[in-house]
């Protein structure tokens, strides 16, 4: 997958949350979404480019062109519209870039202005609360998407608590996101479907209610299965996140922790869980 990192800042946490929630919305899986998007980490005033509270957001897509279109649309509709926000390039080391402010500047209808600071060009787009400041370009790099763990528990409450522990452990790491709602997917999928129009369909081997109808992978005593899906900027960052989530998710009532293999159809990066365990 290709990824980019956006640094979003705002007047305070209220408006930052508003912008980030919109920006990351409908960004769980490229099975149907234009990008997989999530918060990498939160930034305090001393860490952000303009001395305000901020967030580092990672977005993943199949190609640079597809990612560029998705990110530009999302920033234009979800961040530029949000009061007090600004957007900066979070991939300064990347040689490959795609336009952001260079595209959004046209919203200024001829009143937009550019500013070059330390070889980085910014666009100032007039809006009703002042100006929307946006960096001209965003860097992009090659990342890894689809790392996962699948946990099986005795009941839903136990599985939910386990999954939350796993996601909270991932949130402490950099260069990785868990893009599904709350970091967790209950509708885990398999590649393909009996219906030709679908690229993916329900992971029936992991559905507890289908035990008697399929070659079930649900272990005895388990009645709820949840998946944590992970996207990272490097192969190593995904491995570290999988390991952290495994250890955090383990606990009483969690009967098994595995991962989706999909017959190796999703890509060249394979993570063997036994190699992640000390």
User: Where in the chain are the domains?
Assistant: 2-141, 144-276
Q: pLDDT (tens digit, 9 = 90+) per residue, 39-76?
A: 999 999 999 999 999 999 999 999 999 999 999 999 99
pLDDT recorded at residue 268: 83
Domains 2-141 and 144-276 alike in fold: yes
* Alpha-carbon distances of 196 from 109, 191, 214, 256, rounded to whole Å: 45, 12, 20, 33
pTM higher than 0.85 for the full model?
A: yes
The stretch 242-255 carries a mean pLDDT of: 98
Q: pLDDT (tens digit, 9 = 90+) per residue, 185-220?
A: 999 998 889 999 998 999 999 999 999 999 999 999
Q: Which CATH class is domain 144-276?
A: alpha beta
Q: pLDDT (tens digit, 9 = 90+) per residue, 140-168?
A: 999 999 999 999 999 999 999 999 999 99
User: Is the pLDDT confidence value at 97 over 90?
Assistant: yes
Q: What is the DSSP letter of 31?
A: T
CA separation for the pair 184, 248 (Å, rounded): 14
User: Is the pLDDT confidence value at 263 over 80?
Assistant: no
pLDDT recorded at residue 191: 85
The domain defined by 2-141 folds into Alpha-Beta Plaits (3.30.70)
Q: pLDDT (tens digit, 9 = 90+) per residue, 66-76?
A: 999 999 999 99
User: Is the pLDDT confidence value at 266 over 80?
Assistant: no
**More confident site: 151 or 263:** 151
What count of Cα atoms within 13 Å lies in the side-chain half-sphere of residue 130?
A: 9
């Amino acid at each position: 997958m290709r990824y980019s990192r956006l640094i979003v800042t705002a007047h305070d946490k209220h408006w930052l949350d508003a912008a980030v929630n919109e920006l990351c919305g409908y960004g769980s899986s490229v099975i149907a979404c234009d990008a997989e998007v999530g918060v990498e980490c939160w930034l305090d005033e001393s860490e952000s480019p303009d001395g305000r509270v901020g967030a580092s957001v990672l977005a993943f897509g199949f190609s640079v062109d597809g990612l560029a279109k998705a990110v530009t649309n999302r920033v234009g509709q979800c961040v530029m519209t949000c009061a007090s926000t600004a957007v900066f390039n979070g991939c300064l080391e990347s040689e490959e870039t795609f336009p952001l402010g260079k595209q959004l500047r046209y919203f200024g209808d001829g009143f937009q202005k550019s500013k070059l600071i330390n070889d980085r060009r910014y666009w100032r787009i007039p809006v009703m609360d002042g100006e929307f400041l946006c960096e001209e370009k965003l860097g992009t790099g090659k990342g890894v998407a689809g790392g996962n763990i699948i946990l099986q528990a005795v009941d839903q409450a136990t599985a939910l608590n386990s999954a939350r522990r796993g996601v909270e452990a991932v949130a402490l790491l950099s260069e990785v996101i868990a893009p599904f709602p709350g970091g967790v997917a209950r509708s885990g999928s398999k590649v393909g479907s009996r219906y030709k129009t679908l690229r993916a369909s329900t992971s029936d081997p992991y559905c507890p209610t289908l035990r008697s109808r399929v070659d079930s992978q649900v272990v005895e005593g388990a009645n709820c299965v949840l998946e944590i899906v992970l996207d990272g900027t490097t192969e190593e960052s995904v491995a570290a996140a999988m390991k952290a989530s495994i250890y955090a998710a383990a606990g009483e009532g969690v009967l098994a922790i595995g991962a989706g293999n999909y017959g190796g159809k999703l890509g060249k990066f394979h993570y063997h869980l036994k190699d992640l365990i000390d």
